[in-house]
Amino acid sequence: MAATWIKPLHVNKGKTIAQTITDRTDYAENPEKTRQGELVTDYQCDPFTVDTEFLLSKQQYADITGRTQGRRDILAYHVRQSFKPGEVTPELANKLGYELAMRFTRGRHAFIVATHTDRLHVHSHIVFNSTSLDSTAKFQNPIRSNKIIRRISDQICAENGLSIIENPKSSKGKNYGKWLGDKKEPSWREKIETLICEVLAQKPADFEAFLKLMAAANCEVKRSKHISLRLPGQKSFIRLRSLKSNYTEDAIREIISGRRAAPMKPKRTTMIPEQSRRVNLLIDIQNSIKAQNSPGYAQWSKVFNLKTAASTLIFLQENGLDDIDKLNEKAQQAKNDFNGINTRIQNIDARLKDISALQKHIGAYSKTRDIYTAYRKSGYSKKFLAEHEDDITAHRAAKNHFDSLGLEKLPTINKLKTEYGELLGEKKKLYGEYHPSRKKMQDILSAQQNVRQILNLRDTEKTKETERS
């Protein structure tokens, strides 16, 4: 049973575009809900810098198209896909969410899929950029998009043997969590793991004492090559070795002997790989409602901004951008370089499309030439036209296409194939330059934005000091 909806994201009241995007992606990527980021997948973006990438794509869109919508602009789209408790694993849910996002966006928009396991019903949050990958268009949200995306989700679930909601309206008026089964009992594995925690809290002397305490708690113990457990009402035994890492036989023995801590969910810090590190944008703490209402978030933001300012300074020093005019010049140059590559790729795509259409019409023209000649010799007979209407229509369409191109002589198919191959090679080479150029531009633009914000803050502080004096 999969429940799915989609919501457009606008600029939140009292927040900037960057803050709105960051709040939504941070919520989706919450490490406490996604196994420390293990259940986050991405398409054409980096989960660590997805907010920055979405923001920069919108700046590129404005530069390329000259169009802006202000606070009415849709920044991104948020999709949630939830499943019946116990029907899917988090890994499968993440895979299905990725498939849903790919089919709905047709691979034209960057997105992240974050699967949450903090509730009994596994669910995925999909956030995809409203701006297209080439920054030349916006996502055209269709009418009744909720119905469309639910239909795609149902099709994917059916393909994977999962149940679907026959009548989604039946959930109206109910709490979403209750409708999906938040109140249902935990799985047998969860029950056994809970019982193991309770028994270990009694400090058994050894593993044998542990098994006796489990048996005393009405848990049937099966001794064979591998220890298995079964609770009252449970159909089959569950081996200890198949439980989570802290609940296996070896782990329990280590816990009893004091060599391992009692079962707890580890809180690991997600490390950003070296190759994924980029220049982040500073958080506008002064205008952040979240920072004003949460001292903890405000303190975290200050530390984050200090680290970001330091990394920005290092970036500027390493690239010799120690002058604001030089930084602005390099930023504009980086934008021009990237837009130039992007424009060349678009021009090649357009030419490839033209070549394909021309090849199609040349083939049709050659196949129908004799028939059209006979039609002309018949005095444009209506009877002949009725018998060969498709061929004659195709011949005329090809002739009209040639006339629209102003071709005096048709190129050969072999010549078109050669040009097509050369263009594909050039496009492949450009794609090799596309991503490094985009990353360079994003880093410089982020550094430029950070410098502007720092200088603005300094100007603001000076103004306040002047007013006080």
pLDDT digits (tens, 9 = 90+) for 155-190: 888 777 777 665 555 444 444 344 344 444 578 888
> Which whole number is the average pLDDT over 3-21?
82
Contacts of 248 (CB under 8 A, 6+ apart): 240, 241
- pLDDT at residue number 439: 84
Q: Is the pLDDT of residue 97 over 80?
A: yes
**pLDDT for position 76:** 92
Query: Band of the pLDDT at 91, cuts 50, 70, 90?
Result: very high
Instruction: Supply the pLDDT for residue 269.
Output: 37
Q: In the predicted model, is pLDDT for residue 102 greater than 80?
A: yes
pTM for the whole thing?
Answer: 0.41
Per-residue model confidence (pLDDT) at position 467? 57
**Of 105 and 292, the one with more pLDDT:** 105
- For residue 267, pLDDT beyond 90: no
Q: State residue 175's pLDDT score.
A: 42
H/E stretch holding 84 reads none
Q: What average pLDDT is seen over the chain?
A: 81
- Angstrom distances, CA of residue 92 to CA of 42, 98, 157, 329, 375: 15, 10, 11, 48, 61
125 pLDDT tier (thresholds 50, 70, 90): very high
**pLDDT, greater one: 64 or 129:** 129
Angle at 330 between CA 334 and CA 460, to 5 degrees: 115
Tokens found for residue 177: 């969590």
Task: Write the pLDDT tens digit of every residue in 134-148.
Answer: 888 898 887 778 888
**pLDDT number for residue 374:** 93
Is the pLDDT at 354 greater than 80, yes or no?
yes
pLDDT exceeds cutoff 70 at 339: yes
95 phi and psi, to 5 degrees? -65, -40
pLDDT 10s digits, 397-429? 988 988 888 887 888 888 888 888 898 888 888
Residue 375 predicted with pLDDT over 70: yes
CATH numbers and ranges of domains, the chain: 2-180 (3.30.930.30), 188-257 (no CATH), 294-469 (no CATH)
What phi and psi values does residue 228 have, to the nearest 5 degrees? -125, 150
What percent of the chain stands above pLDDT 70? 85
- Report the alpha-carbon distance of residue 209 to residue 218 in Å, rounded: 15
Average pLDDT rounded to a whole number, residues 90-118: 92
pLDDT at res. 286: 65
Sheet strand arrangement including 2-9: 2-9, 76-83, 123-129, 111-116, 40-43
Secondary structure of the chain: what % helix, strand, coil (to 5)? 60, 10, 30
Reduce the DSSP state of residue 78 to 3 states and report it.
Answer: strand
Q: Tens digit of pLDDT for each residue in 302-318?
A: 877 787 787 788 888 88
